[in-house]
Amino acid sequence: MRILAVEDEALFANVLEMLIDELGYELIAIAKSSEEFLRIFASTKPDLALIDINIAGSMDGIELAEQILQSSFAVPVIFITAFHDNATFQRAKKAKPHAFLTKPIDEAALQRSIELAFENFANTGLAMTGGHKDILVRDSFFVKTDQKLIKIRAKEILYVESEDKYCQICLPEKSWLLRMTLKDIVDKLPPTDFIRIHKGVVINVNFVEDIYIKENYVVMSNKKQLPIGKNYKQVFFERLNLLN
């Protein structure tokens, strides 16, 4: 996960950088002003924004968050503040951030806020969630493992297999078990690349190596054999003809 922060206090910026590194996330940068943050945000498109309310620049953190959340590339926003007064909190709440952090912060508090921010973001209609643990945002999945959220890009997925109430998402070198239904996942996968070939199997056509028509199965790039269901066979082959 890629994080962009804005914090103009050098001491706290150093603490924030250390905590993000310890959690295993990628810190794109820590901007010192609202203008610098917006420039970096536009060019890097981070997954998460950490915004101090009291910052340098033409906008404070609340105004900055409002601009981000109203943009075409809205991301989860976490407010960081040393203020404890109710007036600041009420004004910040109107910006509808996805989590709050009060200085000083520690590693556990930061991780909890990151998870909460993604879950709240997923419930805003800008994204969707298939459960309390795993989160689907735009064309990526965020899977919680080892006390952090791992980002999986849809285009890197070879195939998805349903397993009862879970789905196994398989990448070239690793697989992840998500607490989502296959329908939830299919609805968010790019229809140009993914197709359902069985009741419990969706494949990325870009990773198909061989198709055995008589035996009704495909071989993926990782040599995995996946069945073609009789109710999906005709649509699958019609789709392949369109791609050729």
Domain ranges of the chain: 2-126, 154-243
The CATH homologous superfamily of the domain defined by 154-243: LytTr DNA-binding domain (2.40.50.1020)
Fill in the DSSP letter of residue 242: H
Q: Give the model confidence (pLDDT) of 150-194 as tens digits.
A: 888 888 999 999 987 788 999 998 898 888 788 888 887 888 889
List the strands of the sheet with 99-102, edge to edge.
26-31, 2-6, 48-52, 77-81, 99-102
User: pLDDT at residue 65 above 90?
Assistant: yes
| The CATH homologous superfamily of the domain defined by 2-126 | Response regulator (3.40.50.2300)
Q: Among residues of the chain, what percentage have pLDDT more than 70?
A: 90
**CA dist., res. 47 & res. 103, Å (int):** 22
* Residue 125: φ, ψ to 5°: 100, -10
Whether residue 208 contacts residue 220, with contact meaning beta carbons closer than 8 Å, is answered with: yes
- pLDDT digits 0-9 by tens, 106-133: 999 999 999 899 888 877 644 433 343 4
Give the residue ranges of DSSP H helices in the chain: 10-23, 34-44, 61-69, 86-94, 107-122, 182-188, 233-243
Query: For 203-209, what is the mean pLDDT?
Result: 94
Q: What confidence score (pLDDT) does residue 130 get?
A: 39
Q: pLDDT per residue over 3-28, tens digit each? A: 999 998 999 999 999 999 999 999 99
